[in-house]
């Protein structure tokens, strides 16, 4: 800093020089008394200057209190440390009130809702789990008078472990279905792998050219949601495709049967039972069990007569129990493998060839692991009292 006096430049020495503390500067070997405003300006520019809205550390608070206890005025301490006098005044007042000068940390913005309102929000959310966050906000406002945003509803419910998620689609179950599922699971829960190895699990599924998987995502730019290349136009009934039938057993599988028409009792008897199931019956032991669900073609009289004539034992199966049938996961694996093909099938003949190829390419150990999961499936069904299971 420089001060002009009598048309001469006088450079101020360091702030720790004794003459400066006494209010003098050296100019050509002479000590010249500084006038008051210049001394104040010098002191303010050669000390610690705290930025606005910055918290004081404990050391600086101690310096302030120490200076005031030594008899210095608040103005003197303010000028020495470059801190507003109002800050020093409030700090001194706190020290005189409770003897504490440490910073009191704020708890942040007060919560909009009370604990009782949070519990009420959780109750109405559990009472109607399909309510939107906006609906819950309006119900809370009408009940308590407290208005909260949708994000606040999300946070409050998230604190107790409730999150907005897509519900799982399951088959409808009645009390009778649950009772039969529970009884079947209890009967087979203690089966050993050797017993499950004699069961052939079978089922049908449908595959179309247009995937209906909700796992499909696209890459698009913001604002282009309805552009032609970013839309999917699903057919009402799934579009053109194939109906397939297959059977799995521990260590092996049947050939995949592919057809374009709907399964009927005659087709099921003449094609499925005669050409596929009988081959396995001839190679298996006397304890061979054939599992199929309760679809109408499977329970036709001509099918029952065919099984009796061939001495094939059918396994009792509870209705509406796809989660207990391990072949359902095989269909899911087959669908994933079809979707992963590059390029994907674009016509029905290509889809047929892809289905036959990928059916043979599914690793047998993965199929065996699904069959060996039957004890766990039974235990899960028992734990849910015959209701839906994670499988």
- Does position 5 have pLDDT exceeding 80, yes or no? no
Question: Do 206 and 243 form a contact (C-beta atoms < 8 A)?
Answer: yes
Dihedral pair phi/psi, residue 207, rounded to 5°: -125, 130
Percent of the chain scored above 70 by pLDDT? 81
Alpha-carbon radius of gyration of the chain: 41
Mean pLDDT of the chain: 82
Q: Name the token pair of 239.
A: 């579009």
Confidence of residue 37 (pLDDT cuts 50, 70, 90): very low
Question: Do 252 and 358 form a contact (C-beta atoms < 8 A)?
Answer: no
The three-state secondary structure class of 373 is coil
Percent of the chain scored above 90 by pLDDT? 47
CA distances from 291 to 83, 203, 249, 368 (A): 86, 9, 10, 16
pLDDT tens string 300-319: 999 999 999 888 889 999 99
CA distances from 298 to 4, 166, 176, 206 (A): 110, 34, 21, 17
- Look at residue 233 in the predicted model and tell me its pLDDT: 66
- Look at residue 3 in the predicted model and tell me its pLDDT: 38
User: What's the pTM value of the predicted model, to 2 decimals?
Assistant: 0.65
pLDDT tens string 133-153: 999 999 999 999 999 999 999
- Look at residue 16 in the predicted model and tell me its pLDDT: 41
- Look at residue 239 in the predicted model and tell me its pLDDT: 67
- Look at residue 99 in the predicted model and tell me its pLDDT: 77
**pLDDT top residue among 97 and 140:** 140
- Look at residue 174 in the predicted model and tell me its pLDDT: 93
pLDDT tens string 242-271: 999 999 999 889 999 999 889 999 999 999
CA 305, CA 279: separation in Å to the nearest integer? 18
In the CATH scheme, what is the homologous superfamily, with its name and number, of domain 175-216+234-384?
A: Ribonuclease H-like superfamily/Ribonuclease H (3.30.420.10)
The burial class, CB within 10 Å (0-12 / 13-18 / 19+), for 163 is exposed
**pLDDT top residue among 51 and 84:** 84
User: What residue ranges do the domains of the chain occupy?
Assistant: 58-101, 115-165, 175-216+234-384
- Look at residue 59 in the predicted model and tell me its pLDDT: 84
Mean pLDDT across the stretch 36-59?
Answer: 53
Mean pLDDT across the stretch 22-36?
Answer: 43
**How many other C-beta atoms are found inside a 10 Å radius of the C-beta of residue 41?**
14
Helices (H), the chain: 18-21, 36-45, 58-69, 74-81, 85-98, 115-127, 133-144, 150-159, 175-188, 193-196, 265-267, 278-283, 301-309, 327-339, 348-361, 364-371, 374-383
189 DSSP assignment: T
């Amino acid at each position: 800093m420089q001060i002009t006096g009598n048309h001469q430049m006088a450079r101020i020495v360091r702030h720790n020089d004794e003459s400066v503390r006494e209010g003098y500067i050296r100019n050509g070997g002479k000590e010249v008394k500084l006038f008051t405003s210049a001394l104040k300006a010098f002191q303010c520019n050669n000390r610690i200057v705290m930025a606005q809205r910055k918290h004081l550390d404990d050391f600086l608070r101690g310096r302030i209190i120490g200076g005031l206890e030594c008899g210095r005025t608040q103005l003197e301490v303010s000028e020495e440390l470059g801190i507003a006098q109002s800050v020093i005044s409030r700090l001194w007042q706190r020290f005189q009130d409770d003897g504490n000068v440490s910073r009191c940390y704020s708890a942040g913005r007060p919560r909009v809702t009370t604990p009782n309102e949070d519990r009420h929000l959780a109750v109405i959310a559990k009472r109607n789990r399909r309510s939107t966050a906006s609906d819950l906000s309006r119900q809370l406002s009408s009940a308590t008078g407290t208005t909260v945003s949708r994000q606040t509803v999300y946070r409050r419910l998230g604190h107790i472990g409730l999150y907005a998620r897509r519900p799982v689609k399951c088959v409808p179950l009645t009390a009778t279905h649950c009772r039969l599922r529970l009884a079947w699971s209890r009967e087979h829960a203690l089966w050993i792998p050797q017993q499950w190895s004699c069961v052939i699990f079978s089922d049908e599924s449908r595959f179309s050219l247009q995937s209906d998987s909700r796992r499909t995502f696209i890459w698009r730019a913001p604002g282009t949601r309805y552009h032609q290349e970013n839309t999917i136009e699903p057919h009402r009934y799934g579009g053109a495709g194939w109906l397939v039938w297959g059977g799995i057993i521990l260590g092996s599988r049947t050939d995949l049967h592919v057809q374009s028409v709907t399964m009927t009792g005659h087709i099921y008897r003449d094609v499925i039972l005669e050409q596929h199931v009988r081959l396995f019956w001839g190679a298996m032991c006397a304890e061979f069990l054939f599992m199929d669900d309760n679809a109408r073609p499977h329970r036709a009289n001509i099918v029952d007569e065919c099984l009796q004539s061939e001495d094939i034992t059918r396994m009792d199966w509870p209705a509406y129990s796809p989660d207990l049938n391990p072949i359902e996961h095989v269909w899911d694996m087959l669908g994933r493998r079809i979707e992963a093909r590059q390029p994907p099938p674009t016509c029905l003949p290509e889809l047929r060839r892809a289905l036959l190829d990928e059916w043979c390419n599914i690793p047998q150990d993965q199929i065996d692991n699904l069959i060996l999961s039957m004890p766990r499936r039974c235990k899960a069904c028992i734990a849910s009292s015959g209701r839906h299971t994670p499988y």
